[in-house]
Amino acid sequence: MAEKRHATVVWNGDLQSGSGIITYVSSGVISRLPVSWAARTSAHGGKTSPEELLAAAHASCFSMAFSSRLAKNGTPATQLDVKAEVTFEQAEAGWKVASSHITVDGNVPGIDSATFERLAEDAKENCPISGAIKGNVALSVEATLQGA
C-alpha cells in the first residue's frame, strides 16, 4: 500500500519580485506559509523556503530512522535532538541544493559512542529522505552521545 501526500501553492508575479503561499498540505497541520525567491537566497524575512522544508523533512525522517535502529540494537533513545542544515548555493550551472548536514545529540542509555555513531551513519544513509536526495546532495551526520 502506498501513501500519498500533497501540498498546494499559489504563486503571484515573477521569480525576483513575486511571492507565493503554501496554501494547504494534505494533513492540514500547516497552511498559509509565505515563500519567495528572496527568502531562498538571502535573509528569510519571516518566509519559508523549499530548503527549509527539506531540512524539516530530513531531520524528522532521520529521527525516525535513527530511533528505529537504536531500538533494534536494544538501546532505545531517551531523547534525540536533531537538526538538519540544508545549504542552497549558486554554482556555475545555477542554484542548487548542495548539502544536508545532520547533527544529533542523543541521550541513549547502555550504548557506546562507536555504536551510536555507526547507527547514526546508517540512518543518514538509509532514511527515505536521504534516499530521495542521495547522489545529488552531499549528506553528512555529526553524532554526539550525551554522557559519553
Q: What is the mean pLDDT of the chain?
A: 96
Give the whole-angstrom CA distance, residue 145 versus residue 116: 7
Q: Is the pLDDT of residue 131 over 90?
A: yes
* pTM passes above 0.85: yes
Q: Is the pLDDT of residue 148 over 90?
A: no
**Which residue carries 547522489 as its cell?**
135
Distances (CA, A) of 90 to 35, 41, 46, 67, 96: 19, 9, 22, 34, 6
Residue-wise pLDDT tens digits, 38-65: 999 999 999 999 999 999 999 999 999 9
Contact, 79 vs 111, CB < 8 A? Answer: no
The CATH homologous superfamily for domain 50-145 is K homology (KH) domain (3.30.300.20)
Residue-wise pLDDT tens digits, 88-104: 999 999 999 999 999 99
Residue-wise pLDDT tens digits, 26-42: 999 998 999 999 999 99
* Residue 77: band (very low, low, confident or very high) from pLDDT cuts 50, 70, 90: very high
Give the whole-angstrom CA distance, residue 118 versus residue 124: 10
How much is the average pLDDT of 117-140?
A: 98
Q: Where in the chain is the domain with CATH 3.30.300.20?
A: 50-145
* pLDDT confidence of residue 147: 79
* pLDDT confidence of residue 75: 98
